[in-house]
Amino acid sequence: MRHLFNICCFLVLLGGSTLHAWGQTPVQPARFELAITTSNSDVHVFPLPDSSAVLLVRKDAFLSTQDSYTFHKLGANLQERWQRPFKVDTQYQLVLSGTEANQIYALFQSNYQADHLLLVQLDGSRGTTRTVKIDTRVSRDVFDLKILSGRVFITTLVNQHVTILHINPETGQFQFLPSVYETLPTQFTFLADSVTKRAEVILTQTNGFKSRLQVKQLSPHGTLLRTEFVQTESDRNLIAAQISPGDSTARLLAGTYTLRDLQYSQGLFAADLTAGVTATGARKSLRFYDFFTFKHFFDFMNPVREARLRERGARRKAAGTPMRLHYRLLMHDMLPTPEGYVLVAEVYYPRYRYDNANGALMLSSYRQFEGYRTTHAIACGFDKQGNLLWDNTFVLKDNWSYELAPTVRERLLPDGRLALTYVIDHKIHYKIIDRTTPAPNDLLVPVKSNMSGLKEKLTDTQQEAVLPWYGGRFLVYGYQHVRPEKGESRSVFFINSLAFQQ
């Protein structure tokens, strides 16, 4: 009711044109299908900045020692331009991938020898491929892959330490970077910025009571250029952060902080790294924004519950004992804007199932992990000095996943607004954010199964996802079973373009 009241009031003030902006329905102008299923294939989607896209499709090879892979190049209207097949020994599994400009990189790892890697590079413009075999001898698990100026940075595990494997695909040479070698457990954020030609590694360091952030800047060749620390002189602790891309004269660090506890977020902080430090080493520009100061952070709550929480928080603050909040945030990479940056983060919590076991002499409860539930995504605008300009929230519905990974995807529209979207049960949920302006959280459109206007029913959808593309467009994809009114049903992998019009 509170959201409805806010919307009605705003309509009275600004007129019916605002309703068109809020209720702007995105269109799906193009679709591409492949006649494959989850049981015999696997697909990875790569949006490219030149308005094209590439699919990497694996098809099971029956009684063969090699799996068949194919790169499919799609144009702006999702029409297929070309295919590039290649084969990989069945002992290798695709574990990580990434892009830089129109270059696509796929990392394969041996199922039998974890230190044996295979890197496949595709030039998305020319359609040429390159394959590099790497025997690291010591590395085990791999966590992340970034590309900078044609060099590949892989976050990996060596002797219970997190480090970075640096690869030159042109020569096949590789090295572990000695400047990054952290003991487990550690939180690790990596940015590869193709504009400034720098790589930024943000590490969380703690002694169990206090924590600080260490920021390391690397060249495309893996050379350590700079190391600096960000810490506080108060009872606050810094948990994790992202660093701003795209402007070599501005370096904004924004992330989450906590009060005493080293696990849960109390709010966001922002620090202008170009402002320098005090005599004691603290950042001059370090700013903290408690979630209680946000206008929209608690929109996911019932209004009565939110009012009680804010009242209790105000009482605790007045008494000098701030109320500690218990939120976990998954931060996205920051987006540059004309006035500064936008940070999107998803608020989540782990889900468990409790099974009671009754016995003659004991009563016990077993906790089984079921996945992660994302309640809402916050979007915050900062200027280049770290001042919070606005905040807003996208409340999610019925969303959970077994792996902790981004659910919501964001794209800055040409007119400066922010489009947020996710897909679940063949429905595309979206919200268009215009700074702090209230807007509904329940807008959605069904995924279109054809471009001809035919009536069809989607009876099963699996592995749905959405990715930002170019301009005001996203790519929505997954596996579907489609049943038409007449004729045979079909099982396909689909990819639709989703466009937010001006």
**And the tokens for 499?**
């466009």
- Let me know if domain 91-230 sits in CATH 3.40.50.620: no
| Residues 378 and 408: beta-carbon distance below 8 Å | no
Nearest to 201 by CA among 247, 159, 148: 148
Q: How many CA atoms lie within 13 A of 502 on its CB side?
A: 5
Phi, psi of 39 (to 5 degrees): -80, -20
| Type of residue numbered 390 | W
**And the tokens for 93?**
């599994």
Hey, which residues does 43 pair with through a beta bridge?
57
Please tell me whether residue 127 adopts helix, strand or coil conformation. coil
Residues 6+ apart with CB under 8 A from 4: none
| Residues 174 and 168: beta-carbon distance below 8 Å | yes
Token pair 């279109």 in the structure block, residue: 448
Has this prediction a pTM greater than 0.85? yes
| Residues 240 and 331: beta-carbon distance below 8 Å | yes
Phi, psi of 257 (to 5 degrees): -135, 165
**And the tokens for 19?**
């309703």
Distance, in Å, from the CA atom of 118 to the CA atom of 130, rounded to the nearest integer, reads 11
In which element (H, E) is residue 396 found? none
Token pair 């089984």 in the structure block, residue: 368
Distance, in Å, from the CA atom of 407 to the CA atom of 430, rounded to the nearest integer, reads 12
| Residues 167 and 119: beta-carbon distance below 8 Å | yes
| Type of residue numbered 276 | G
Q: How far is CA 269 from CA 204, 266, 281, 374, 433, in A?
A: 14, 10, 17, 22, 22
Phi-psi label, residue 87: left if phi above 0, alpha if psi -120 to 50, beta otherwise: beta
Q: Angle at CA 327, nearest 5°, toward 209 and 185?
A: 45
Q: How far is CA 35 from CA 38, 59, 207, 423, 480, in A?
A: 11, 11, 54, 21, 10
Phi, psi of 23 (to 5 degrees): -90, 20
Distance, in Å, from the CA atom of 59 to the CA atom of 331, rounded to the nearest integer, reads 34
Distance, in Å, from the CA atom of 433 to the CA atom of 446, rounded to the nearest integer, reads 21
Tens place of pLDDT for every residue, the chain, 502 residues?
Answer: 444 444 444 443 343 334 444 447 899 999 999 999 999 899 999 999 999 999 999 998 777 889 999 999 999 999 999 999 999 999 999 999 999 999 999 999 999 999 999 999 999 999 999 999 999 998 889 999 999 999 999 999 998 889 999 999 999 999 999 999 988 777 889 999 988 899 999 999 887 778 889 999 999 999 999 999 998 877 889 999 999 998 878 899 999 999 877 789 999 999 999 988 887 777 888 999 999 999 999 999 999 999 999 999 999 999 988 999 999 999 999 999 999 999 999 999 998 888 765 555 555 567 888 899 999 999 999 999 999 999 999 999 878 888 899 999 999 998 899 999 999 999 999 999 999 999 999 999 999 999 998 999 998 889 999 999 999 999 999 999 999 988 899 999 999 999 997 5
